[in-house]
Chain A
Amino acid sequence: MSQFEYVGKSIGRRDGVDKTTGRGLFTTDIFLPGMLFAKVLRSPHPHARIVSIDTTEAEKLPGVKAIMTHKNGPKNLFNAAVPMFLTIPQLERVLDQYLFDEIVRHVGDEVAAVAATSEAVAEKALGLIKVEYEILPAVFDALEAMKPEAPELHAGKGCTPEGKNIPAEIVKIPYNDVEKGLAESDVIVEQTFELPVQKQVQMETQAAVAQVDGNGDVTVWSTTQTPHPSRAILGQIFGIAASKIRVLAPPYVGGGFGVRIGLSGKAEPIAMGLALLAKRPVKLVYTRKEDFIASDTRHAAYVTVKLGAKKDGTFQALDMKAVFNTGAFCTFGAELPGVCGAMTLAIYRIPHQRYFGHSVYTNRTSAGAMRGFGNPQGNLAMEQVVDMMAEKLGMDPLELRRKNIMKAGDPWCLPYPCSTTELSECMRQGAESIGWERRGKLNEPGAVKLRGLGMAVGTHVSNAWPFCVDYDNAYVTIQPDGSAHVASGVPDIGTGTSTSLVQIAAETLGMSMDSISLTYGDTLGTPFDIGSHASRTCYAAGTAIKAAAADARKQLLEYAAGYFNIAPERLEIKAGLISPVAGSLDECSGSGLCQLEEVKEGKGNSVTVAELAYHAHVRNKQFIGVGRIVPENAPPWHACFAEVEVDTRTGQVRIVKLAAAHDVGRAINPMIVEGQIEGGAAQGIGYALSEEITYNDKGRQQQYSMHNYMLPTAEDMPEIHSIIVESHDPTGPFGAKGAGECSLVCPASAIANAVANATGYRFKQIPMTPERVFKALNS
Chain B
Amino acid sequence: MVQNYVFPATVSEAVTVLSTNRGKARIIAGGTDLILELQEGKNTCDVLVDLTQIAELKNITEENGFIRIGASVTHAQAAKSELILRHAPALAQACRKVGSLQIRNMGTIIGNVVTGNPAADAAVALACLDTTAEVTTLDGMQTMPLEDMYAGVCMSCIDSCCQVVTHVRFPVKRTGQGSAYLRMEQRKALALPMLAVSALVSLDGDKFEWARLIIAPVGAGPQHALDAEEFLKGAPVSAATMTEAGQLARNQAMFRSSAIRGSKEYRMGVLPVFVERVLQAAVEDARRA
Do A and B share a direct contact in the complex (Cβ within 8 angstroms)?
Answer: yes
Given A694-B259, A775-B266; A716-B273 close (CB under 8 Å):
no
Instruction: Establish whether residues B273 and A715, one from each chain, have CB atoms under 8 Å apart when the complex forms.
Output: no
Q: Which residues of B contact A91 (CB under 8 A)?
A: none
| A191 adjacent to chain B (CB < 8 Å) | no
Instruction: Establish whether residues A650 and B270, one from each chain, have CB atoms under 8 Å apart when the complex forms.
Output: yes
Cα of A563 to Cα of B225 in the assembled complex, Å: 94
Instruction: Establish whether residues B187 and A713, one from each chain, have CB atoms under 8 Å apart when the complex forms.
Output: yes
Q: Which residues of B contact A715 (CB under 8 A)?
A: 187-189
For chain B, the count of residues having a C-beta within 8 Å of the partner chain is 19
Cα of A56 to Cα of B190 in the assembled complex, Å: 42
Ranked nearest first, the 5 interchain pairs of A and B with the lowest CB-CB distance are A715-B188, A713-B189, A771-B266, A649-B273, A715-B189
Chain A residue at smallest Cβ distance from B99: A707
Cα of A651 to Cα of B185 in the assembled complex, Å: 12
| A243 adjacent to chain B (CB < 8 Å) | no
Q: Interface on chain B toward A: helix, strand, loop, or mixed SS? A: loop
| A606 adjacent to chain B (CB < 8 Å) | no
Return A776 CB to nearest CB of chain B, in Å.
12
Return A751 CB to nearest CB of chain B, in Å.
15
Q: Which residues of A contact B259 (CB under 8 A)?
A: 694, 696, 702
Instruction: Establish whether residues B190 and A778, one from each chain, have CB atoms under 8 Å apart when the complex forms.
Output: no
Instruction: Establish whether residues A713 and B260, one from each chain, have CB atoms under 8 Å apart when the complex forms.
Output: no
Q: Give chain B interface residues in 168-191, CB to chain A under 8 Å.
A: 184, 186-191
Chain B residue at smallest Cβ distance from A712: B187
Q: Which residues of A contact B188 (CB under 8 A)?
A: 713, 715-716
Selected from B100, B192, B265, B273, the residue in CB contact (under 8 A) with A650 is B273
18 cross-chain CB contacts under 8 A: A649-B273, A650-B184, A690-B186, A694-B259, A702-B259, A703-B260, A710-B187, A712-B187, A713-B189, A714-B189, A715-B189, A716-B187, A716-B189, A771-B262, A774-B266, A774-B269, A775-B265, A778-B269
Q: Give chain A interface residues in 682-727, CB to chain B under 8 Å.
A: 690, 694, 696, 702-703, 706-708, 710, 712-716
Cα of A226 to Cα of B273 in the assembled complex, Å: 51
Instruction: Establish whether residues A690 and B187, one from each chain, have CB atoms under 8 Å apart when the complex forms.
Output: yes
Chain B residue at smallest Cβ distance from A649: B273
Interface size band for A: 20 to 34
Q: Interface on chain A toward B: helix, strand, loop, or mixed SS? A: loop
| B263 adjacent to chain A (CB < 8 Å) | yes
Return B105 CB to nearest CB of chain A, in Å.
16
**What 1/0 mask marks residues of chain A from 216 to 257 whose CB sits below 8 Å from any chain B CB?**
000000000000000000000000000000000000000000
Cα of A770 to Cα of B260 in the assembled complex, Å: 12
Cα of A708 to Cα of B185 in the assembled complex, Å: 12
Q: Which residues of B contact A703 (CB under 8 A)?
A: 260
Return A322 CB to nearest CB of chain B, in Å.
27
Cα of A267 to Cα of B273 in the assembled complex, Å: 48
Besides A650-B273, A710-B186, 7 other A-B contacts (C-beta < 8 A): A650-B184, A650-B270, A690-B187, A713-B187, A715-B188, A770-B270, A775-B265
Selected from B100, B191, B270, B273, the residue in CB contact (under 8 A) with A710 is B191
Cα of A666 to Cα of B266 in the assembled complex, Å: 48
Return A652 CB to nearest CB of chain B, in Å.
8
Q: Which residues of B contact A694 (CB under 8 A)?
A: 259
Q: Which residues of A contact B274 (CB under 8 A)?
A: 650
Cα of A771 to Cα of B190 in the assembled complex, Å: 19
Return A653 CB to nearest CB of chain B, in Å.
12
Cα of A77 to Cα of B274 in the assembled complex, Å: 56
Q: Which residues of B contact A778 (CB under 8 A)?
A: 269
**What 1/0 mask marks residues of chain A from 583 to 607 whose CB sits below 8 Å from any chain B CB?**
0000000000000000000000000
